[in-house]
Amino acid sequence: MSDEITEKMRAIIAEQAVLDPSEVSMNATLDDLGIDSLGLVEAVFAIEEEFDVQVPFNANDPSDSQFDISNVQSMVDAVKKLIAAKPT
């Protein structure tokens, strides 16, 4: 089930949560992980840097974004879609 993108995502999220990547479960929510709005913004920045993508994320209204932040799995899926859609 695990792959390179997933592992990188878990590492990014783990850093914000001050956890070991192995402690970041795929169905954990940001609340579960203790990541606040600022932590989320930093994570989005790290994701863009890592994967060279633009994350459609609006910090003013995160729930209104096209980037699904429901849990770790949804974010990984969203990032994979962004990577697949990248112009080659």
Partner 1 sequence: MRRVVITGQGAINALGHSADATCAAMREGRQGIGPLEFRDVDRLSIQIGGQVRGFDASAHFSRQQISLYDPNTQFALLAAAEAMGQSGLEVSETLAPRAGVIMGNSGGGLQTIDENYRTVYEEGKNRVHPFVIPRLMNSAAASHISMTYGLKGPTFTVSTACASSNHAMGQAFETIKLGNADVMLTGGSESMLVFGGIKAWEGLRVMSRDACRPFSKNRNGMVQGEGAAVFVFEEYEHARARGAEILAEVVGFAMSSDASDIVMPSREGAVRAMHGALRSANVDLEEVGYINAHGTGTAANDRSECAAVREVFGDHADNLLISSTKSMHGHLIGGTGAVELLACIMALREGVVAPTIGHEQFDPDCDLDVVPNEARQADVSVALTNAFAFGGLNAVLALRRI
Burial 44-68 (b: 16+ CB within 10 A, else e): bebbeeebebebebeeeeeeebebe
83 binds partner 1 (CB under 8 A): no
49, 70, 81, 86: which one contacts partner 1 (CB under 8 A)? Answer: 49
Q: How many Å apart are CA 81 and CA 17, to the nearest integer? A: 24
8-47: contacts with partner 1 (CB under 8 A): 15, 18, 38-39, 41-42, 44-45
Contact positions toward partner 1, by CB under 8 A? 15, 18, 38-39, 41-42, 44-45, 48-49, 59
